[in-house]
Amino acid sequence: MVKILKKKGMETSDVVLTVAHSKTLKVQTRPLVVYKDEEVFTEDIAKEVGKRVGCAVVINDSLSDPNNPDNFFAFDNQNTKEFFEAVKKFQPQLVIDIHGLSEIGPMLLNPRHDGVRYFRYWKERSFLSRRPDVDIEYKRKHGYVTCKGAIVVTLAKILAKSNFVVDFEAVFPGGFVIERTSNLHTDAVAIEVNRKIRDDPAKRQQLADCLVQFIEVFRGKKIEEVIDAQRYPDTEEIFRQMQERMAQQRGGESERTRYIG
């Protein structure tokens, strides 16, 4: 069963938000917590953003998983077909696929296009690690990208400026949803939103604000950025203080060494 949210009379939508796992049963375990619904609030985020920017939202409202390219049951195959036909109907220029991930777990084991690696840095070589707030996915099998680099970087910058910890392809490889929708000659990017962000109403709202701003920028809106000088160190003042300390040290050393010999 596929649920479509759109404005009355809408035939096309330049941006389509997709939620593939609104009801898919998954169990993720972290210390002392078992999540029966790992992708909770992903649908709420999509609805909030879609309503504010006026774009279509396509939601998989069944236990079937359209992220699997091959399904055993006929119902699953039919549901997957309807899901992608719903996306295709809107003729989008950009598809944003929203998923959820657990707060703690092993990082990426993806030999398909990045080689076998669990962690980005050697210091993180342990079985469990805290995952990023938002993981951005933009690759197909064998490393072919599903989205222009400028779009990915713009999304990452907007998220990072709101103090979200962002990574790229760090937890999961790009899924079948962005791989297949990119075949429609559209840009497709997926975001994996950390459970701790989705559980916090303020953080969840902040994430929605970032996605709204990103879509507005994608549509050509220019965002005026106010830079708070207090957030950044005064490098000239720091350099002046360093020069003074060095001068004092040199003066002290000459005074001490004056009577040597």
How much is the pLDDT for 118? 39
> Parallel, antiparallel, or unpaired for β 28-30 and 33-35?
antiparallel
Residue 251 covered by a domain: no
Residue 227 covered by a domain: no
Residue 232 covered by a domain: no
**CA–CA distance, 88 with 81 (Å, rounded to integer):** 11
Domain range for residue 204?
2-218
Statement: the pTM of the whole predicted model exceeds 0.85? no
Q: Which two tokens stand for residue 74?
A: 């006929």
Split into its structural domains, the chain has a count of: 1
Q: What phi and psi, each to the nearest 5 degrees, are found at residue 44?
A: -65, -40
3-state helix, strand, coil in the chain (%, to 5): 40, 20, 40
Stretches where the chain sits below pLDDT 70 are 22-38, 68-73, 75, 104-130, 141-143, 172-174, 223-232, 251-261
CA count, 13 A, side-chain hemisphere, 52: 16
CATH number at residue 181: 3.40.630.40
Residue 238 covered by a domain: no
Beta bridge partners of 134: 166, 193
Residue 159 covered by a domain: yes
